[in-house]
């Protein structure tokens, strides 16, 4: 347990050091006067607006889609669709943005059909990108919820001759309600903190969020007091929402269990038509930006040299992902030990505190973490030499909450069922690990793949600590795109997309093999 | 001897006080209406729940001072006795001290309890009664001298129940274990118990405390 508390303390220390780094540089100055400025309130208003709308639209599309998937287990493409959903959620923002620009940008494929007023840059582009990333996440989570409805509930509903409306009210809605609130909160947090999407598609000062404003204060104005003031606002708002999420529960979404013999009502003809239409549109929505990316590659000046240029960044990205994946999962397991202990002892406040601390990097502005740490380390370490270690370390810290979210429900379930048994059998720590390992296997794999891919997609941290000798694939895309070599950027984005798709399909294939 | 004196248990407004004594090597059945606090008593002896006050000793040594891991107690719960993700054999492996005789003991016991052909199976392939017998086997073959069984025969049919009772009795006698067993069936008491304790509730006037006595 001492190790667990030390690891937790180290996580907190990273944030404290980052804030200290900036505060120190600013001479302890925070620009509180900013709160009297109209600019601040328009910034806050837009951040809240885009995050709320993103959460609302993601859920509004996800609910009918997840329901359609649940009621049509006969759709053979369903499994592939759910895997695509996973791919979309972890898709690096730069890859998505490249695809969206080809599709909906100024000279995009679909732009001529969207009217004179259409502009990808601004709220509309941000919302499309956020819904693309988060709706699939919500679909998987809600699909799992629907699957948790026991057969007996459906049989009883049929026996009682409940109408479809009554079925929804009595059987489905109660199962979804709690999870919907958590999901909405989670998506809100993700979009509130969104950086690359807003930076690329924001299109001007009227469509800027707090996270981007922090970046701009640091990069262009070097106004650290202003960045700190904005960071505190972001920390408190997102931290507050996140505190509620921790209180309400977690989002288990990655593993999709299919139960072959599950009984569910047979949809009517028009119901089937509506579901098939929703399903078809969803395929189109998710595939189009990816296909646009593939098509963009045709214009690329293909050469062996270009392919060779991608080789090294690809291996570096993979190595970075593997390191972060393994380390983040181990850290998540360790920091969950005190959380589980507090829960078993029914010390719920303490449990909440440990949980919040272990997941706080999800709410701390990533830009402040990176820049703060950079400023702190600059005067103490040779950042140019050790930069890649900081990239790996900081990426690990940032993705720990995602690993934690995956492991937590499974470990809590283990404790609920077996904590008393484990104690009365007087198992040693080693025996305990042997018992927990097979129980956790699928969650560990899911957590590992998720955090590995999230770390592999990083641009923000690399932007600050990365070294030219150790360029990752996302950074290469960014370099190509910012020097207007869009064809090369498309090739690199496609390589990254294929790498992600390969990893995800291999992972889902293994999960399938285990289920059957 | 297990001696319990004025042991006060509390869960919110729920309160029970226990007084009882068990001689070493005895098989004692524990009966009483639902909610009277039978399982709570077993949980307190095992160390799963902490009493508010009172004295509890085993062979003269206070149990309350010992953490669960150090108590000389082996316990069978009403449910969740097997790890569902481990095979029956793996469940026995993690629960038993492995010596040269262990495999022979397991096979002899499994044969008597009619689960020998289930030793390589998965818990999900077993019926409720078979699971309970696997767990019973593990609980009694563990080295601790004090055995607590919470409704161990609840899911067994009459024939299997009789065989299981016989095995518990023989094993406890051969190994000198003291057994405290919760049951709702009078037949179990007649076939197995050296002593039967019936827990009763009596509400004292002017306070909320409920005392439990035994004859």
Give A22-72 pLDDT, tens digit per residue: 788 777 777 777 788 888 898 999 999 999 999 999 999 999 999 999 999
pLDDT at B130 (0 to 100): 92
- Put simply, whether A36 touches B (Cβ < 8 Å) is no
A456 vs A35, residue with greater confidence = A456
Which domain does A323 fall in, by range? 2-25+60-515
CATH number at residue B168: 3.40.50.300
Q: Write out the H or E segment, with its range, that includes residue A448.
A: helix A429-456
Proportion of chain A above pLDDT 90, given as a percent: 27
| Residue A429 placed within a domain | yes
pLDDT at A256 (0 to 100): 44
Measured distance CA(A491)–CA(A298) in Å, rounded: 9
Confidence of residue A254 (pLDDT cuts 50, 70, 90): very low
| Residue A39 placed within a domain | no
Cα A26 to its chain centre, rounded Å, is 32
Over range A164-178, report the average pLDDT: 85
Cα B126 to its chain centre, rounded Å, is 21
Over range A1-5, report the average pLDDT: 88
CB B44, CB B73: distance < 8 Å: no
Partners of B75 in the β-ladder: B148
Measured distance CA(B64)–CA(B69) in Å, rounded: 12
pLDDT in tens, A320-366: 999 999 999 999 999 999 999 999 988 888 988 898 888 888 877 77
Q: Which of A462, A468, A473 is nearest to A498 (CA)?
A: A473
Measured distance CA(A315)–CA(A336) in Å, rounded: 31
| Residue A30 placed within a domain | no
Confidence of residue A514 (pLDDT cuts 50, 70, 90): low
Cα A397 to its chain centre, rounded Å, is 14
Confidence of residue A250 (pLDDT cuts 50, 70, 90): low
Find the CB nearest A421 among B77, B85, B142: B77
Mean pLDDT by 10 residues, chain B (215 residues): 92 87 92 89 91 94 90 90 89 85 90 92 90 93 93 90 93 94 91 90 42 45
Comparing A142-146, A457-461, A489-493, B152-156, the range with the smallest average pLDDT is A457-461
Proportion of chain A above pLDDT 70, given as a percent: 95
Q: What's the pTM value of the predicted model, to 2 decimals?
A: 0.79
How far A170 CA lies from chain B's nearest CA (Å)? Answer: 30
pLDDT at B136 (0 to 100): 94
pLDDT of A392 above 60 = yes
Measured distance CA(A60)–CA(A56) in Å, rounded: 6
| Residue A34 placed within a domain | no
B73-76 and B27-31 as β-strands: parallel, antiparallel, unpaired?
A: unpaired
pLDDT in tens, A353-381: 898 888 888 877 777 788 888 888 877 88
Over range A167-179, report the average pLDDT: 85
pLDDT at B206 (0 to 100): 34
pLDDT in tens, A102-118: 888 887 888 888 888 88
Measured distance CA(A471)–CA(A492) in Å, rounded: 12
Alpha helix locations (H) across B142-205? 158-175, 186-192
Measured distance CA(A433)–CA(A439) in Å, rounded: 10
| Residue A304 placed within a domain | yes
pLDDT at B211 (0 to 100): 44
Vertex B55 angle, CA B49 and B59, to 5°: 100
Q: Taking CA atoms, what residue in B is nearest to A414? A: B83
pLDDT at A330 (0 to 100): 96
Comparing A85-89, A354-358, A384-388, B47-51, the range with the smallest average pLDDT is A384-388
CB A376, CB A17: distance < 8 Å: yes
Which domain does B91 fall in, by range? 2-213
CA dihedral A448, A454, A455, A460 (to 10 degrees): -160
Per the structure, the count of domains in chain B is 1
A460 vs A94, residue with greater confidence = A94
Share the mean pLDDT of chain A: 85
Q: For residue A515, what are the contacts with CB-CB under 8 A and spacing of at least 6?
A: A257, A258
Over range A136-146, report the average pLDDT: 90
B69, B79, B91: best to mutate for the A interface, most A CBs within 10 A: B69
CB B163, CB B112: distance < 8 Å: yes
The verdict on a CB contact (< 8 Å) between A431 and B74 is no
| Residue A38 placed within a domain | no
The verdict on a CB contact (< 8 Å) between A424 and B48 is yes
Interface residues of chain B, partner chain A, Cβ below 8 Å: 46-48, 68-69, 73-75, 77, 80-81, 83-86, 94-95, 142
Find the CB nearest A438 among B74, B80, B86: B86
pLDDT of A302 above 80 = no
pLDDT at B147 (0 to 100): 95
Find the CB nearest A420 among B77, B85, B95: B77
Find the CB nearest B80 among A418, A427, A439: A418
Q: Taking CA atoms, what residue in B is nearest to A433? A: B94
The verdict on a CB contact (< 8 Å) between A435 and B46 is no
CB A25, CB A375: distance < 8 Å: yes
CATH number at residue A150: 1.10.3720.10
Per the structure, the count of domains in chain A is 1
The verdict on a CB contact (< 8 Å) between B94 and A417 is no
Measured distance CA(A346)–CA(A115) in Å, rounded: 59
Q: What is the ipTM of this complex?
A: 0.77
pLDDT at A515 (0 to 100): 52
Instruction: Say what angle helices A383-424 and A429-456 make with each other, to 10 degrees.
Output: 140
């Amino acid at each position: 347990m001492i190790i667990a508390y030390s690891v937790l303390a180290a996580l907190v220390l990273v944030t404290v050091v980052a804030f200290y780094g900036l505060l120190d540089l600013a001479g302890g100055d925070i620009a509180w006067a900013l709160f009297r400025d109209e600019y601040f309130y328009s910034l806050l208003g837009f951040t809240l607006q885009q995050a709320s709308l993103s959460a609302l639209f993601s859920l509004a599309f996800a609910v009918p889609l997840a329901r359609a998937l649940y009621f049509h287990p006969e759709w053979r493409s369903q499994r592939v669709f759910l895997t695509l959903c996973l791919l979309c959620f972890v898709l690096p923002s730069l890859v998505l943005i490249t695809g969206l620009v080809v599709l909906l940008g100024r000279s995009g494929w679909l732009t001529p059909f969207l009217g004179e007023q259409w502009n990808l840059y601004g709220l509309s582009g941000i919302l499309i990108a956020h819904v693309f990333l988060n709706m699939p996440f919500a679909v998987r989570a809600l699909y799992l919820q629907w699957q948790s409805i026991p057969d007996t509930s459906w049989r009883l509903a049929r026996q009682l001759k409940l109408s479809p409306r009554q079925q929804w009210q009595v059987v489905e809605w109660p199962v979804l309600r709690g999870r919907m609130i958590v999901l909405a909160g989670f998506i809100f947090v993700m979009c509130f903190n969104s950086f690359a999407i807003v930076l690329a598609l924001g299109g001007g000062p009227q469509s800027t969020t707090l996270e981007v404003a922090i970046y701009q204060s640091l990069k262009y104005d070097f106004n650290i007091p202003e960045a700190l003031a904005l960071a505190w606002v972001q920390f408190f708002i997102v931290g507050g929402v996140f505190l509620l999420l921790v209180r309400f529960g977690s989002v288990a979404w990655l593993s999709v269990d299919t139960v072959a013999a599950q009984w569910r009502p047979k949809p009517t003809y028009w119901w089937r038509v509506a579901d098939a239409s929703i399903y078809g549109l969803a395929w189109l929505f998710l595939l189009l930006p990816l296909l646009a990316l593939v098509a963009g590659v045709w214009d690329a000046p293909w050469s062996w040299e270009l392919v060779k240029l991608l080789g090294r960044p690809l291996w570096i990205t993979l190595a970075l992902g593997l390191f972060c994946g393994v380390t983040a999962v181990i850290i998540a397991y360790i920091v969950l030990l005190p959380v589980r202990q507090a829960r078993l002892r029914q010390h719920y406040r303490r449990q909440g505190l440990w949980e919040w601390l272990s997941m706080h990097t999800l709410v701390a502005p990533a830009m402040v973490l990176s820049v703060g740490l950079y400023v702190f380390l600059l005067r103490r370490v040779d950042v140019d030499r050790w930069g890649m270690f900081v990239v790996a370390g900081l990426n690990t810290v940032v993705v720990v909450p995602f690993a934690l979210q995956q492991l937590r429900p499974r470990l809590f379930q283990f404790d609920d069922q077996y904590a008393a048994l484990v104690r009365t059998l007087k198992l040693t720590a080693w025996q305990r690990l042997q018992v927990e390992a097979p129980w956790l296997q699928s969650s560990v794999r899911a957590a590992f793949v998720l955090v590995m891919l999230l770390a592999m997609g990083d641009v923000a941290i690399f932007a600050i600590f990365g070294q030219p000798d150790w360029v990752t694939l996302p950074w290469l895309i960014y370099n190509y795109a910012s020097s207007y070599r869009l064809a090369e950027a498309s090739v690199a984005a496609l390589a990254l997309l294929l790498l992600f798709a390969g990893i995800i399909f291999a992972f889902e294939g293994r999960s399938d093999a285990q289920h059957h | 001897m297990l001696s319990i004196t004025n042991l006060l248990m509390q869960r919110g407004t729920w309160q029970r006080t226990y007084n009882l004594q068990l001689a070493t090597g005895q098989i004692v059945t524990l009966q009483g209406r639902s909610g009277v606090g039978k399982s709570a008593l077993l949980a307190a002896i095992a160390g799963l729940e902490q009493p508010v006050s009172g004295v509890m000793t085993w062979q003269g040594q206070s149990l309350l001072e010992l953490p669960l891991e150090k108590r000389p107690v082996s316990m069978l719960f009403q449910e969740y006795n097997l790890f569902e993700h481990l095979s029956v054999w793996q469940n026995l492996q993690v629960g038993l001290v492995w010596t040269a005789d262990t495999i022979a003991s397991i096979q002899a016991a499994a044969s008597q309890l009619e689960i020998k052909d289930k030793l390589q199976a998965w818990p999900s392939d077993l019926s409720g009664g078979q699971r309970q017998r696997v767990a019973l086997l593990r609980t009694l073959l563990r080295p601790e001298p004090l055995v607590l069984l919470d409704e161990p025969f609840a899911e067994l049919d009459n024939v299997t129940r009789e065989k299981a009772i016989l095995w518990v009795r023989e094993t406890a006698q051969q190994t000198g274990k003291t057994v405290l067993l919760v049951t709702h069936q009078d037949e179990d008491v007649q076939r197995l118990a050296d002593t039967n304790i019936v827990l009763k509730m009596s509400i004292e006037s002017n306070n909320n405390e409920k005392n439990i006595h035994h004859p």
